[in-house]
Structure 1
């Protein structure tokens, strides 16, 4: 299982939100690129980066910081937040050199855009973020909730040829209460899509539990920043692929 460290960007800083609340943020670093270097030293192969400002406003707000991160690490990078048209996809994949982008709001609001992105760049480089609130898909930086049940959405994504999703239970994100394993079991029963466990990881045991279930990958954010997970040790023990 891939163990993926996370850097969430707001105003050029590495932060974490509590349950997606932009008013409840904790700043962890003014130099996100240094964090990326640290993660690479620990053995991480893939870095998860989210432009929180971009997710809310639909623009490339933290572009310069993202470029710095890319320039300071040889890890693969997946990036989400505010990517809502092919021009932005091209900017990140072709110009900045990001390895894969995560489409969230646009994937549900504009299925044709998702199809075009998949057709242009392939399923290895286009990931979909499935952000879940009370059983439904959330959009616009988690500020709005759609009327689409998350399992129905995932089945539709699989039909379109999507290979990877990042599945987040918003109520768990940033809480250190443990992930919603029940939700992930429902996804496993419903679909064969590769999903990344995201939101709520509190300790190494949570990560081991995800690995034991043979899930594709697990994102570690706040648990690392708060000193609850020895990321180097976990990666050495669990990471493959």
Structure 2
């Protein structure tokens, strides 16, 4: 299983939010590039970066910092936050991102997202945010009653390979991941690479997810709070995202 360290950027700082609430942030490092260097030194080659400013404004305000992580630290980066159009996707791919995560765009502009998947199947990542089992979008303020299978199957046909799924109720809460949900998704859609996000609290959580054959897991707050050490993450990590 791929362990993917996370860096959430807000105003040029490394932060974590609780359930996506900008009013409930914790600042962990004022120098995001230094944080990325720690992951590189520990043996990680790929990280997950969220541009929280971009998610609100639609402008990739932290892209210069992400470019430093790619060019200077020599990390592979997947990013999300504020991706709203095919032009946004092309901008990020041209900037050197190895993966672009789309959530709201995939729901609101399905044709544009599908065309991006067809053109870049290895780089496109669907952000499937779930709230009480329903797809959430628009900053997690809206939900869709559309069945997940009805939404996913056309994208799989278009070449979608990877889905990053977040259980919103557990994001940033250190309450443990929703293993049952991820296991069910993995069984229903075995041809997709599933990346779990949200709720990881300790090493045992990672081991449990690994036992369910998930492709990967994003680790954020549990690392920053000292609940999981970098060497523990590295020992479980399998390269190749």
TM-score of the two chains, using structure 1 as the length reference = 0.93
Matches within 5 A, 1:210-229: 210-229=209-228
Corresponding residue for residue 18 of structure 2: 18
Query: How many residue pairs are counted as aligned between the two chains?
Result: 239
What SS is found at the alignment partner of 2:163?
strand
Write the deviation string for residues 134-181 of structure 1: whole angstroms up to 9, x where unpaired: 111111232332333445433443233210010000100100010001
Distance 2:67 2:114 in 1: 27
Corresponding residue for residue 50 of structure 2: 50
Give the drift of 1:236. Answer: 2.2
What SS is found at the alignment partner of 1:171?
helix
Distance 1:152 1:20 in 2: 26
What SS is found at the alignment partner of 2:105?
helix
| Deviates most, 124-133 or 154-163 | 154-163
Corresponding residue for residue 198 of structure 1: 197
Give the drift of 1:128. Answer: 0.7
Give the drift of 1:44. Answer: 1.3
Distance 2:70 2:179 in 1: 32
Corresponding residue for residue 86 of structure 1: 86
Matches within 5 A, 1:50-199: 50-94=50-94, 96-120=95-119, 122-192=120-190, 193-199=192-198
Classify 1:25/1:150 alpha carbon distance in 2 versus 1 (closer, same or farther; 3 Å). farther
Structure 2: which 5+ residue stretches go unaligned?
Answer: none
Distance 2:213 2:72 in 1: 31
Contact 1:9–1:51 (Cα < 8 Å) also in 2: yes
Q: Does 1:5 align with 2:15?
A: no
Give the drift of 1:69. Answer: 2.5
RMSD: 1.6
Distance 1:143 1:31 in 2: 30
TM-score of the two chains, using structure 2 as the length reference = 0.93
Contact 2:3–2:236 (Cα < 8 Å) also in 1: no
Distance 2:27 2:112 in 1: 34
Contact 1:36–1:72 (Cα < 8 Å) also in 2: no
Contact 1:6–1:48 (Cα < 8 Å) also in 2: yes
Contact 1:37–1:72 (Cα < 8 Å) also in 2: no
Corresponding residue for residue 234 of structure 2: 235
